[in-house]
Amino acid sequence: GQQVMQIPQYQHVQEGEDFTTYCNSSTTLSNIQWYKQRPGGHPVFLIQLVKSGEVKKQKRLTFQFGEAKKNSSLHITATQTTDVGTYFCAGTYSGYSTLTFGKGTMLLVSP
């Protein structure tokens, strides 16, 4: 079946450092969504990318969708302690109506 691979599984950074998490699929995705889950919380939607090569920004967060629509990344510039949490990508495949989630990247930020 379809799988969305996400790396790294875990990253610990110092506040102010940058952070990137990557998602990869062997099959073309129709769209990709990103969610953030704070410790002890539930996943919260961040953004959706649909077009090939699409780049979207939300303040210090930059989201990219690859040209082949098989990979995506989330980059955080100058991390803050409020960025702590697990970031999930989730994609939809053509002909399917549900999301396939990556396993997530847990981000820890030390002050």
Residues 26-55, mask of contacts with other proteins (x by CB under 8 A): ----xx-x-------xxxxx--x-x-----
CB 103 within 8 A of CB 15: no
Shortest approach of other proteins to residue 33 CB, angstroms?
6
Q: How many residues bind other proteins (CB under 8 A)?
A: 24
Between residues 50 and 78, which has the closer beta carbon with respect to other proteins? 50
Residues 50-82, buried b or exposed e (16+ Cβ, 10 A)?
Answer: eeeebeeeeeebebbbbeebbbbbbebeebeee
Q: How far apart, in whole angstroms, are the C-alpha atoms of residue 3 and residue 83?
A: 26
Residues found near other proteins in the complex (CB under 8 A):
1, 6, 9, 30-31, 33, 41-45, 48, 50, 88, 90, 92, 96-99, 101-104
